[in-house]
Structure 1
């Protein structure tokens, strides 16, 4: 009865509105973005007009990207430095096992939905074609690049580039004397060389920061100033990002509007690619709303949907920006503030998972492979389906960081299976939407990974001394007065000054 009175109370509604204000504003921004994009498509806008519509979203993206790398560096070092090597090892193993399992499971869902719906039947392959101009990377080269990037030779260069195998086609003319006749012959050879791709080597940076954090712990008291610096820096960066996040509604509206304005032939594209879009959206919905909650409940023994709702803000950021990395600050905030995950775990696991955990992408790659095979009339037997599953699970860990990397991974799989990739350009037609859908799924998986690791590893976390407990405790991030009271309590019980 008392609960009913609370709901009717005006102050209760004001509290709920204040608590969820950013979510509501972001949702409103997304609706405005869709309305603007669809409404302005019928007008012949100039390039300058489209640019200025997209300027707020571009500024929003640039400001967030500016802070992501410093946040990852400071968070990983501070998080691992507050653990002992034994705890670091257990957390890393649990996180990697989760990532491997959740890269494998959605592949089955994607293949099952593609085989049931059969989106490749009756599709007009004349629409949406686009030439894939990048050379197809070999699987062995992808993993060679992965190992190179795990151990970067220059930590500064890793901030803006990563190793990637480049191919160069060399033609050589040879004259052969065959039975007294001179025959001109052309030999084409593909040469490999180690080049660079201008994209942040997040995996290498995470590994380097992990080593710095472990070393900080191993040197004992001597490493405390180093830890305090990076912990302080991470909190300062998060504070700046909390200011920036209030620009999310405007940024979301701008990004979605420009994406819709630039997409050509929207009606024709939906006609030709509607079934494939439905397949991906349905598969991700089944995986994210049924399978993930099931294993989350089995492990956590709590309501999974309450957790998914709590991650709505970072999901919206991921959907609008098509980047789970951009959503890392908001993901950390929701995990630590709303779900009370220990910072020592969240600030190591989330950057690692955002690098190699790709649930939505793995699901998309398997479904797209079957879709293209259906377009070309290739019958897939059990052996080929299992091969698609295995290849996608492995390649999803090491897919190169290039534009439309998911489509490139599809082409790599098709080449390995001997399936013609002539119609793969059709996948680009709805890439602007499907990329956002699978990115949102990736982000939710990163958050689930942190929750599962926290559940399974919190008993082995080393106890904190009083000073570090005050800094690490998630409840104190937004409550400076609580931190102040804790400092006073410590000072009353001992003569130690708390920094």
Structure 2
């Protein structure tokens, strides 16, 4: 009983702190009690915990998927909500040129030297292109090479039609049929592997979008003369990666999640208009990077799983008739 009483007393002492303050007024001393409650939540900043919201959404989605049939109504509601949001966003894109023109005009009027901003936008444009080029031509092929031990550029040549389609449509979802055809016919990826990896990759594997959003956030910080410390840079990286997972595979969908990244580090959301001028062109290159990452990922999964999967029905028929399936060598002893 005494132990329990001490625990309660200690908790009350932590929760409520009483400070005794002595003040002298003339010849009298007044003792004032000041009660301070611990501030568990800082409500004075008025900034939402965006990173916490993103992490909660990811965990909520994982738990919702594990619930099976009981979570299906909420899952269908979320899918419908996403579809309605993207349809509204598509309608807004039709009128975006007019709005962008006025927003940029307002920024130009409020600046002392427009050429400085123009130079910064140009450097931002070049930086994103260089980053996407390094990621798409060096990092992704290197990962494919060290896992599959084959020439990655031969594999990339086999999906060149899909990359061209991605550049033209700016949508990894619209490019999906072409990507599947290139993987199955040109690179001989198993149909089951391609049909599983590519739709999942077109939904959550947005490495080009994550790179673009991180660079864009740093660019907006530099325009506003804000120095980002190491912790804020890590926050931008994590938030951009997590937000890109929720980006839809439609043109310029990264602008929707870009707001989350800016809000996570307290940058002005209105400055997203600075990157709208070149976003339509950069979107094509980051879509190519996304499609390339999905395709190389399918090639890696195919390399590790093709020998463990049972053959398809037409392959069984070919084996019965004495034919050798595509991509395999005849090892029958003579």
TM-score by length of 1: 0.44
Q: Evaluate the alpha carbon distance shift between residue 449 and residue 290 of structure 1 in structure 2; reply closer, same or farther with a 3 A threshold.
A: same
Matched, 1:280 2:128: yes
Q: What is the alpha-carbon distance in structure 2 between the residues aligned to residue 401 and residue 296 of structure 1?
A: 23
> Contact conserved, 1:138 with 1:412, CA < 8 A, in 2?
yes
| Most deviating of 412-421 and 140-149 | 140-149
Matched, 1:144 2:62: no
Structure 1 equivalent of residue 73 of structure 2: 153
Structure 1 equivalent of residue 219 of structure 2: 371
Give SS of 2:198's match.
helix
What is the correspondence of 1:247-258 to structure 2 with a 5 Å cutoff? none
Structure 1 equivalent of residue 80 of structure 2: 162
Give SS of 1:197's match.
helix
Q: What is the alpha-carbon distance in structure 2 between the residues aligned to residue 353 and residue 400 of structure 1?
A: 11
Give SS of 1:284's match.
helix
Aligned-pair CA distance for 1:414 = 1.9
Q: Evaluate the alpha carbon distance shift between residue 152 and residue 433 of structure 1 in structure 2; reply closer, same or farther with a 3 A threshold.
A: farther
Give SS of 1:461's match.
coil
Q: What is the alpha-carbon distance in structure 2 between the residues aligned to residue 400 and residue 347 of structure 1?
A: 18
Q: What is the alpha-carbon distance in structure 2 between the residues aligned to residue 385 and residue 156 of structure 1?
A: 35
Q: What is the alpha-carbon distance in structure 2 between the residues aligned to residue 288 and residue 301 of structure 1?
A: 18
Matched, 1:315 2:163: yes
What is the correspondence of 1:361-440 to structure 2 with a 5 Å cutoff? 361-399=209-247, 404-440=252-288
Q: Evaluate the alpha carbon distance shift between residue 468 and residue 293 of structure 1 in structure 2; reply closer, same or farther with a 3 A threshold.
A: same
Q: Evaluate the alpha carbon distance shift between residue 154 and residue 386 of structure 1 in structure 2; reply closer, same or farther with a 3 A threshold.
A: closer
Q: What is the alpha-carbon distance in structure 2 between the residues aligned to residue 405 and residue 346 of structure 1?
A: 24
Aligned-pair CA distance for 1:147 = 2.0
Q: Evaluate the alpha carbon distance shift between residue 406 and residue 358 of structure 1 in structure 2; reply closer, same or farther with a 3 A threshold.
A: same
Aligned-pair CA distance for 1:139 = 4.9
What is the correspondence of 1:84-123 to structure 2 with a 5 Å cutoff? none
Instruction: Tell which has more relative contact order, 1 or 2 (C-alpha 8 A, sep 6+).
Output: 1
Task: Provide, for residues 355-384 of structure 1, a one-character-per-residue CA deviation record: whole Å limited to 9, x for no partner.
Answer: 100011011010001001111111011111
Give SS of 1:282's match.
helix
> Contact conserved, 1:356 with 1:397, CA < 8 A, in 2?
yes
Give SS of 2:81's match.
strand
Aligned-pair CA distance for 1:421 = 3.0
Q: What is the alpha-carbon distance in structure 2 between the residues aligned to residue 340 and residue 401 of structure 1?
A: 25
Structure 1 equivalent of residue 173 of structure 2: 325
Q: What is the alpha-carbon distance in structure 1 between the residues aligned to residue 168 and residue 235 of structure 2?
A: 33
What is the correspondence of 1:238-317 to structure 2 with a 5 Å cutoff? 273-317=121-165
Q: Evaluate the alpha carbon distance shift between residue 353 and residue 402 of structure 1 in structure 2; reply closer, same or farther with a 3 A threshold.
A: closer
Matched, 1:197 2:76: no
Aligned-pair CA distance for 1:415 = 1.3
> Contact conserved, 2:184 with 2:191, CA < 8 A, in 1?
yes
Q: What is the alpha-carbon distance in structure 2 between the residues aligned to residue 157 and residue 307 of structure 1?
A: 39
Aligned-pair CA distance for 1:270 = 7.0
Q: Evaluate the alpha carbon distance shift between residue 157 and residue 457 of structure 1 in structure 2; reply closer, same or farther with a 3 A threshold.
A: same
Higher Rg? 2
> Contact conserved, 1:361 with 1:406, CA < 8 A, in 2?
yes
Extract structure 1 runs of 4+ deviating beyond 6 A.
Answer: 154-158, 400-403
Task: Provide, for residues 185-206 of structure 1, a one-character-per-residue CA deviation record: whole Å limited to 9, x for no partner.
Answer: xxxxxxxxxx95355xxxxxxx
Aligned-pair CA distance for 1:488 = 9.2
Task: Provide, for residues 333-359 of structure 1, a one-character-per-residue CA deviation record: whole Å limited to 9, x for no partner.
Answer: 111111111111111111111110001
Structure 2 equivalent of residue 99 of structure 1: none
TM-score by length of 2: 0.63
Q: Evaluate the alpha carbon distance shift between residue 287 and residue 401 of structure 1 in structure 2; reply closer, same or farther with a 3 A threshold.
A: closer
Q: Evaluate the alpha carbon distance shift between residue 144 and residue 306 of structure 1 in structure 2; reply closer, same or farther with a 3 A threshold.
A: same
Q: What is the alpha-carbon distance in structure 1 between the residues aligned to residue 237 and residue 321 of structure 2?
A: 57
Q: Evaluate the alpha carbon distance shift between residue 347 and residue 137 of structure 1 in structure 2; reply closer, same or farther with a 3 A threshold.
A: farther
Aligned-pair CA distance for 1:419 = 2.3
**Backbone CA RMSD of aligned residues:** 3.5
> Contact conserved, 1:322 with 1:439, CA < 8 A, in 2?
yes
Q: What is the alpha-carbon distance in structure 2 between the residues aligned to residue 409 and residue 137 of structure 1?
A: 15
Task: Provide, for residues 219-270 of structure 1, a one-character-per-residue CA deviation record: whole Å limited to 9, x for no partner.
Answer: xxxxxxxxxxxxxxxxxxxxxxxxxxxxxxxxxxxxxxxxx9xx979xx997
